[in-house]
Each structure stands twice: as C-alpha cells, then as structure tokens.
A and B are shown apart, each in its own frame.
Chain A
Amino acid sequence: MTLQRASLRPPRISDDAPAEDGKRLNELAKSSGFGISGGPSGQEADRVGEGARSVLLPAQPRMSLRDRRPPKETRSFNFNCKMKPRIKDKIDEICIARGVSQADVIEMLIEHYDLKA
C-alpha cells in the first residue's frame, strides 16, 4: 500500500483564527495545576478537567486479573516456519494497514478457512 504524497502535505491553516482570551486560558492552566516552575511528573494535573469518563470506571465491570490472564498455552507462540519474504512483507503490510497483530491476521485467516470448509 502506498500513500498518496498529497495526503502527507500539512493542511493549510488560515491566519484568521478566532481571537482568543489568552488570559482566561492561562488562568485555566494555573487552576488546573500546571506550574511555571515545572515539577515532577503528573500528580499536580490530577485536578484537571472532567472530559472523558475515568478509565478506572469503565461502563462494564472490570475483568478480574485472573480473567484477563490468558490460558497458559495461548500466551505466546512461535510460528516455526520459514516464509517467503514476499509473504512476510504482505503480512506486515496488512498488520500496518489494519493496525492488527500478526496473530490477529492468522486468526482472520482461520475464520476465513472455517467459513469455506
């Protein structure tokens, strides 16, 4: 898959962006705990905003750690085979384009195979 060069040109941003109340935004930054002097990672920004729901309060109950842990035999596997470079490259291409892992590609293949069988 090759990307269009044109899509890699940055968007043209118009100069006439709406005037901003810089002071107000600076106040917001201060009241949200961002310090001029900087500081150690994180803690201060805890008070920040209320946009997305907390990742700690998901819609569904969290899986217990035991449930999250995959059965031992599926934790990792090795495909003990040699592939033609062309095939390996194709698999990589699919992984990148779809944002999936190699294991996912194999799973997709098997689903496809099962459907045909």
Chain B
Amino acid sequence: MAAFIIACASSKGGCGKTTLAVAIAGVYASNGSSVLLVDADSRKRLQEEWYNPETLSPKIKVISSRVEDVETDVSKNRDVFDVIIIDVEGSANWALAQALQVAHFSLVPSNVSFQDLKDAQKVYNYVESINKESKRYRHCWIVWNRVPTAIRSKEMKATMDEAVTSGLPILTTIHERDAYKAMFSYQTTLDKLREDEAVPSAGKAEQEIAILISAMHEKLEAQAA
C-alpha cells in the first residue's frame, strides 16, 4: 500500500495553498496518520518558517523539493508515509505540473473572486487534459477559501453560483479564521491550538478541515466504485 498523495495547487499566488496544506497535514496527523509535506516553493517557507520539530507532532515531516525533483522526491517517500501533501508556489511552473501529475487528488484553493477563479479553472482544465491522456484518473476540486463566517455579499453569492453553473467542481468551503494564521505564528497545527485554547476559532477550523478530508475520501470512493 502506498501514500495518498494530495497537491495543494494553483498558479495563483496567495490563494491559501500553504495554509490548506498545513491544516490538512495537522488533522491527518492528529488522527494517527504519518504525513510528509513536500515544500516545492523555492522560498522554502514551510521548511524555514513553519516546521519546528519541537512544537509539531512527530507524525509530520517536511522536506524541501527543487522544482525539477518534485516527482522523484514524492516517489521516494510513497511507501514511507500514509499521506503526502505537496505545496507549490503560485506560478505556472514545472513543480505545479509535476504535482498535478503525481497527485491522486488536487485541491485548488480559490478566494471567491473572478480573478482567483480563472486561475483555478486553468488548473482544473489542465488536470482534465491529463485525465484524457492517462489511464489513471486524477481528482481536481476547487475549495472556496477565506469565506467570511457572518455574511456573504451578493457579489460573493453570484460568483459562487456562477462557478457551479460553469461546471467547476467545488469541494467545500473554508472560512476566514484567525486559527489558520495562528498555525504559522505558533508553528503548530489546529488540534494543538484548540487544546491550548490559543485561538477561539481553532476547533471550528479543525472541523471544517475534517469535513474537507471526508469529502475527499468520499469522492475517491465514488470514483472507484
């Protein structure tokens, strides 16, 4: 049996790829899985700014991967971890292409705006074109990110509706929460933030990430059936 490989992928910068990667890694690890985060961002921010073996679960490891080595680095670790999560930088570079190619499941975070959605759509279309060429099916789903908890404007609702009308697959919604930022200021994961009562929104963030993970598993099962 080999690792479940997830890519947090978009050619859009700042849409929440790293945030999502870290949040998912934390929820998998706190539920008993071993997780490798592959930092394919040349700025090595995961490795240098977030990863801290003293504050993080030993179930989580991070490696930095050069743009041209993403596929090799993932392959080397397939049999070692339960889950591998690839975090790419926000550009249409080779690492993004490799991540989309090697992953079983690509998650494309998108803020609810047309600019973000257009980038998300390019990624989705590209994965569809890989699927046409390949015998193996790859999932690619968009995740709404930074949605306000209290109220959604009409503009926001219209954009969300139009994404659905355009046939873009939307997996789940992630809200704007301090807990997601605090993972980086405390170099930790959502479960620890919740336990330490460091940030009030940590438990809710953890719950919505758990829902996202279950949704991924459901999509995989539905496709396999």
Contacts and interface: CB of A to CB of B under 8 A. Distances in A.
- A and B, one complex? yes
A69 B158 CA distance: 10
A110 interface: no
Given A14-B1, A39-B91, A101-B150, A51 B28 contact: no
A76 B217 contact: no
Interface string A43-59: 11110111111111111
Interface string B111-148: 00010011101111111111001111000000000011
B166 A32 contact: no
Contacts of B168: 52, 55
Chain A contact residues: helix, strand, loop or mixed:
loop
B167 A20 contact: no
Interface string B34-74: 00000000100000000000000000000000011000000
Interface residues of A, number: 68
B188 interface: no
A20 B136 contact: yes
A84 B162 CA distance: 37
B136 A17 contact: yes
Given A9-B33, A39-B93, A40-B91, A55 B4 contact: no
Interface in A33-74: 33-46, 48-60, 62-63, 68-70, 74
Interface of B: 1-5, 11-13, 27-28, 31-33, 42, 67-68, 82-83, 89-98, 101, 104, 114, 117-119, 121-130, 133-136, 147-155, 158, 162-163, 165-168, 172-173, 204, 207-208, 210-211, 213-214, 217, 220-221
The 6 closest A-B pairs by CB, nearest first: A51-B128, A49-B125, A38-B93, A29-B97, A34-B97, A45-B92
